């Protein structure tokens, strides 16, 4: 029977009496704080269904979640948004550890931006338990908080060898998380990784899934990844634990985006065939193909040796790096054995060979490959040179003489997810809004930004803008002086702007004075919120002058709250003078869990004078190798009397990449740089220190156990 329900109580009653073939229909509208438990017994021919009156018109919001338990259930048409789960999962294929769902399908469901506002709070959007479940044609986009978007759990016998199918889903953008725990998909955990999952992941579209180094973390055996598209996604499909997985017919299209990679191979009997790797810029852990060294007699949570890998008939079209023996160090000494690398077509991005060897590849048989440039001599016998080959650009390379992939790869975006919910835009967050003119006065910005819409541009006529309240910015906006003139901002509270939610700021041509700020420590021009602020913020400062930030101690320009994250802070052509604290204070994550406050800090063509703290304090603790950042780049800038002249110019702890080039420094101590994990790179050149050319201007402490 079809039972339409309009209240949570009615739903519970309908579930309690549901029989095979029944269809429980949720009434259109918003279901607030709906703690739904759908436990029932259907049959293969007559599942018990939970559907929407109109697909896409049934919204579960606030503190809602859905638990499934029983057999032969079918769920479709629901949308989770405007809230987050109070449980450890949004959709759970179990009631609790005692009642799982089997033979159950969830389809045509949307989970959009349903992230815990405290991004350090860990949850799953989908937890697959039980056996023989199908998750297909769903749309999962914009997870910002800790924990994989979807995870297959193998934690009891009843969830192992599960043969789940994860098909035709749209995985929308997952921005950089800024720590381990930003996977889009995880299958298993190290503890159960020698168990087979037998999950099939096919024809899904991964759109900018860039949470961390693992787009997918495969941690069980016998899985198949087939026909998926990975578009502009940082990191790799990582075969982290478990054996005997097949990766075929996938398209890895980096679109030239940074850190885009392909497949990272670890463990035994992994097969990588007929995949197309295109325009991937990543190297090292994020190469187009990465074969890791193992740890001899590895514990279950470290790196098992690559044994019996088959890498064949793949096309590498314009890739930056194929890394062989990656991770080789004092611990990871077990090189791959009994493996083959055959009939692959390799075209490097820049004319040279993308193949790098970090250890002995004697255990890999190279044969029948074609390459546009000579690979390292020791493996060159397995390659024929075709120096006329170049990256295909918009097109695809066909198989040549039996080398490379053929047939179709990946899936079109519109073949995934649902038709009735829009997929994520690629437009700049700072575009698409209104143009608004403002005149000088008191609380002008506070009043204007109360009704801000995404992409709004506020243009300030010259004059003085005095703000008596903190302005919460929860959407991307641009605030700039009218061309050629200058608006002067001052503020009476501890901060002028606090970024929350999706708040981002592009500021141009402004003077910012701290002279009206309160006489307390720890003021800043721009701060963030840890609780309301799950979003990935972007901050751009162009032609800004910041002055008189010295009423009390620790006055910063930008200070990140613990648990908040900036995708980027870009500073150019700006001046900073009389600042009592750290200019960019991004060091709140001191717990050494690998969390940090900003992915990129870029400063160029700017001037700093009379600064009480360091220019930048950046802290990324922990020893995991899960992130590409933080990055700090400083170029073409000048520094005069920083950190009172007796402390470091910058304090950079645990950053992964950095540069200091073409700068002029007077009266400051060298950058304090601490390497803690990963393969950090810091370059320094063209600097003038106290009148003399001095390229190296950093005290480097290397705490890595290498």
Binding-site ranges for a copy of itself (CB under 8 A): 86-88, 96, 120-122, 146-147, 181, 189, 442, 466, 468-470, 492-494, 518-522, 529-532, 553-554, 562, 588, 590-593
Instruction: In angstroms, give the least distance from the CB of 32 to Ca ion.
Output: 33
**350 Cβ neighbours under 8 A, 6+ residues apart:** 320
Instruction: In angstroms, give the least distance from the CB of 90 to a copy of itself.
Output: 13
From the number of C-beta atoms within 10 Å of its C-beta (0-12, 13-18, 19+), residue 590 rates as exposed
> How many CB atoms are closer than 10 A to CB 2?
10
For residue 192, the 8-state DSSP code is G
Name the helix (H) or strand (E) containing 91: strand 89-92
Instruction: In angstroms, give the least distance from the CB of 16 to a copy of itself.
Output: 17
Euclidean distance between CA atoms 240 and 341, whole angstroms: 20
Please, which residue, 450 or 484, has the CB nearer to a copy of itself?
Answer: 450
Distances (CA, A) of 173 to 124, 170, 362, 701: 16, 10, 40, 36
For residue 349, the 8-state DSSP code is T
Instruction: In angstroms, give the least distance from the CB of 213 to Ca ion.
Output: 7
Mask 422-461, x = binds Ca ion (CB under 5 A)? Answer: ----------------------------------------
Please, which residue, 345 or 595, has the CB nearer to a copy of itself?
Answer: 595
Does 180 participate in binding Ca ion (rule CB under 5 A)?
yes
Give 625's Cβ-side CA count (13 Å radius). Answer: 15
Which residue, among 293, 262, 309, has the nearest Cα to 357 in the 3D structure? 293
Structure token digits, residue 486: 């200058």
Q: Answer with the entry of a copy of itself, Ca ion, none that 492 interacts with (C-beta below 5 to 8 A by kind).
A: a copy of itself
Please, which residue, 17 or 88, has the CB nearer to a copy of itself?
Answer: 88
Please, which residue, 180 or 260, has the CB nearer to Ca ion?
Answer: 180
Which residue, among 581, 579, 585, has the nearest Cα to 564 in the 3D structure? 585
Instruction: In angstroms, give the least distance from the CB of 183 to Ca ion.
Output: 5
Does 214 participate in binding Ca ion (rule CB under 5 A)?
yes
Q: Answer with the entry of Ca ion, a copy of itself, none that 308 interacts with (C-beta below 5 to 8 A by kind).
A: none
Please, which residue, 355 or 560, has the CB nearer to a copy of itself?
Answer: 560
Structure token digits, residue 315: 């096309």
Q: Answer with the entry of a copy of itself, Ca ion, none that 214 interacts with (C-beta below 5 to 8 A by kind).
A: Ca ion
Please, which residue, 101 or 411, has the CB nearer to a copy of itself?
Answer: 101
Span near Ca ion by CB under 5 A; candidates 207-215, 473-481, 559-567, 582-590:
207-215
What part of residues 626-655 is at the interface with Ca ion (CB under 5 A)? 626
Q: Answer with the entry of Ca ion, a copy of itself, none that 420 interacts with (C-beta below 5 to 8 A by kind).
A: none
Q: Answer with the entry of a copy of itself, Ca ion, none that 520 interacts with (C-beta below 5 to 8 A by kind).
A: a copy of itself
Give 540's Cβ-side CA count (13 Å radius). Answer: 14
Q: For residue 665, which phi and psi values (nearest 5 degrees)? A: -125, 135
Structure token digits, residue 172: 């929308």
Instruction: In angstroms, give the least distance from the CB of 624 to Ca ion.
Output: 8
Distances (CA, A) of 317 to 167, 257, 327, 346, 378: 26, 15, 24, 6, 22
> How many CB atoms are closer than 10 A to CB 446?
17
Q: Do 175 and 423 form a contact (C-beta atoms < 8 A)?
A: no
Please, which residue, 46 or 469, has the CB nearer to a copy of itself?
Answer: 469
Please, which residue, 217 or 540, has the CB nearer to Ca ion?
Answer: 217
Residues that bind Ca ion (CB under 5 A): 180, 214, 626
């Amino acid at each position: 029977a079809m039972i339409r329900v309009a209240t949570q109580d009615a739903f519970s009653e309908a579930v309690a009496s549901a029989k095979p073939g029944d269809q429980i229909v949720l009434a259109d509208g918003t279901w607030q704080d709906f703690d739904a438990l759908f436990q029932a017994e259907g049959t293969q021919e007559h599942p018990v269904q939970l559907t929407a009156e109109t697909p896409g018109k049934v919204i579960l919001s606030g503190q809602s979640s859905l638990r499934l338990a029983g057999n032969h259930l079918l769920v479709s048409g629901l949308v989770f948004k405007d809230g987050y789960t109070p449980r450890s999962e949004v959709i759970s294929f179990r009631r609790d550890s005692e009642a799982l769902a089997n033979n159950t399908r969830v389809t045509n469901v949307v989970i959009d931006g349903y992230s815990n506002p405290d991004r350090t709070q860990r949850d799953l959007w989908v937890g697959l338990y039980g056996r023989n479940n199908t998750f297909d044609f769903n749309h999962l986009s914009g997870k910002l908080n800790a924990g994989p978007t979807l995870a297959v759990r193998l934690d009891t016998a009843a969830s192992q060898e599960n043969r789940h199918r994860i098909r035709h889903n749209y995985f929308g953008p997952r921005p950089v998380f800024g720590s381990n725990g930003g996977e889009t998909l995880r299958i298993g955990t190290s503890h159960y990784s020698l168990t087979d999952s037998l999950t099939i992941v096919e024809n899904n579209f991964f759109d900018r899934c860039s949470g961390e180094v693992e787009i997918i973390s495969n941690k069980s055996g016998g899985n198949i990844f087939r026909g998926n598209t990975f578009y502009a996604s940082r990191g790799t499909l990582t075969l982290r634990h478990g054996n005997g997985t097949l990766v075929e017919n996938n398209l890895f299209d980096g679109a030239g985006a940074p850190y885009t990679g392909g497949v990272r191979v670890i463990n035994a009997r992994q097969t990588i065939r007929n995949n197309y790797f295109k325009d991937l810029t990543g190297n090292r852990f994020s190469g187009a193909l990465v074969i890791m060294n193992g740890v001899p007699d590895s514990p279950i949570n470290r790196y098992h040796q690559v044994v019996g890998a088959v890498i064949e008939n793949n096309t590498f079209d314009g890739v930056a790096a194929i890394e062989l023996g990656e991770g080789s160090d004092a611990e990871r000494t077990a090189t791959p054995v009994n493996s083959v690398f055959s009939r692959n077509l390799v075209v490097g991005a820049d004319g040279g060979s993308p193949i790098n060897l970090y250890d002995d590849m004697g255990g890999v048989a190279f044969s029948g490959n074609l390459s546009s440039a000579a690979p390292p001599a020791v493996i060159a016998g397995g390659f024929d040179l075709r120096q006329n080959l170049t990256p295909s650009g918009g097109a695809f390379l066909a198989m040549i003489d039996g080398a490379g992939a053929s047939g179709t790869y990946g899936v079109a975006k519109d073949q995934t997810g649902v038709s009735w919910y829009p997929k994520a835009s690629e437009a700049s967050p700072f575009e698409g809004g209104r143009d608004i003119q403002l005149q000088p006065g008191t609380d002008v910005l506070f009043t204007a930004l109360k009704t801000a819409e995404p992409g709004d541009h506020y243009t300030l006529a010259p004059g003085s803008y005095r703000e008596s309240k903190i302005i919460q910015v929860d959407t991307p906006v641009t605030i700039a002086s009218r061309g050629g003139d200058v608006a002067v901002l001052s503020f009476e509270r501890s901060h002028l702007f606090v970024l929350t939610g999706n708040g981002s700021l592009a500021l141009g041509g402004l003077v910012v004075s701290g002279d009206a700020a309160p006489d307390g420590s720890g003021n800043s021009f721009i701060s963030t919120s840890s609780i309301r602020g799950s979003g990935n913020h972007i901050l751009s400062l162009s032609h800004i002058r910041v002055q008189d930030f010295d009423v009390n101690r620790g006055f910063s320009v930008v200070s990140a709250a613990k648990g908040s994250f900036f995708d980027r802070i870009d500073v150019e052509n700006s001046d900073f003078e009389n600042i009592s604290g750290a200019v960019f204070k991004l060091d709140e994550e001191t717990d050494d869990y690998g969390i940090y406050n900003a992915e990129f800090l870029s400063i160029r063509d700017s001037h700093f004078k009379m600064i009480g703290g360091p220019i930048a304090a950046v802290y990324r603790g922990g020893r995991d190798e899960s992130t590409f950042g933080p990055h700090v780049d400083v170029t073409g800038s000048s520094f005069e009397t920083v950190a009172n002249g007796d402390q470091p110019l910058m304090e950079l702890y645990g950053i992964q990449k950095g540069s200091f080039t073409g700068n002029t420094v007077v009266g400051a101590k060298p950058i304090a740089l601490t390497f803690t994990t990963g393969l950090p790179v810091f370059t320094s050149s063209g600097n003038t220190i106290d009148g003399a050319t001095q390229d190296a201007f950093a005290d480097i402490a290397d705490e890595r156990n290498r």
